[in-house]
Chain A
Amino acid sequence: DAEITQSPRHKITETGRQVTLACHQTWNHNNMFWYRQDLGHGLRLIHYSYGVQDTNKGEVSDGYSVSRSNTEDLPLTLESAASSQTSVYFCASSEQGKSETQYFGPGTRLLVL
């Protein structure tokens, strides 16, 4: 079955370190998204991509970057982790032209000490 996976599921890191969160989908979807989920804020969009070599900033992109070298993967990099980036991160994908149904991964819980 097609799916979307994230790794690691849990991560503890220190302030200032670079961290990369992986997202892999096997639906062959063109659209991929990264969100963070925080109490009181719901889900907020970090970055998104509509296809290979395409990346775009979301509403909370500062301190994060993504790259899209193939259809299946959209890794999220925290350039220099900060305590404010402690959160749960969700990756999602959707089919081009059928944007409504986004399929979500299980999430990565990140703690920055």
Chain B
Amino acid sequence: GNSVTQMEGPVTLSEEAFLTINCTYTATGYPSLFWYVQYPGEGLQLLLKATKADDKGSNKGFEATYRKETTSFHLEKGSVQVSDSAVYFCALVSGGSNYKLTFGKGTLLTVNP
């Protein structure tokens, strides 16, 4: 079956630091990969996605590249802001899953001024 493993948190950084949150996956077929973000007290929002190998998703300064050879989709940002403090979820959907998302457990990021 499908599974997503992302790095355990919490992650605490100072403003303007570099961010990496690791995500690896196991899936049947050729999955599409996503990062969702959950700000305090809110639902999840799609941050970025990639639908095939070597695609790079990007949004709001965040990037992630679909690496089929390492089954990874690591999230990066060059300079984090306090407003980036949130929980980040890596997720996938594969052709065999009939539109169902499989989520990682989430990584809490706190950015201090």
- A interface residues with partner B (beta carbon < 8 Å): 31, 33, 40-43, 45, 48, 50, 58, 90, 92, 94, 99-107
Contacts and interface: CB of A to CB of B under 8 A. Distances in A.
Interface of B: 32, 34, 36, 42-46, 49, 51, 89, 93, 98-101, 103-106
Contact of A90 (B43, B46, B98): B43
A102 B43 contact: no
B101 A102 contact: yes
Contacts of B43: 90, 104-107
15 contacts: A33-B101, A40-B105, A42-B89, A43-B89, A43-B106, A99-B93, A99-B99, A100-B32, A100-B34, A101-B49, A102-B44, A102-B46, A104-B36, A104-B45, A106-B42
Nearest to B101: A102
Nearest to A6: B43
Which of A33, A90, A102 has the most chain B CB atoms closer than 10 A to its own CB? A102
Given A100-B32, A100-B34, 15 more contacts: A31-B99, A33-B100, A33-B101, A42-B89, A43-B89, A48-B99, A48-B100, A100-B51, A101-B49, A102-B46, A103-B46, A104-B36, A104-B43, A104-B44, A107-B43
Nearest to A43: B103
Nearest to B95: A99
Which of A31, A100, A106 has the most chain B CB atoms closer than 10 A to its own CB? A100
Contact of B105 (A41, A45, A102): A41
Contacts of A40: 105
A10 to B, nearest CB: 11
B100 A94 contact: no
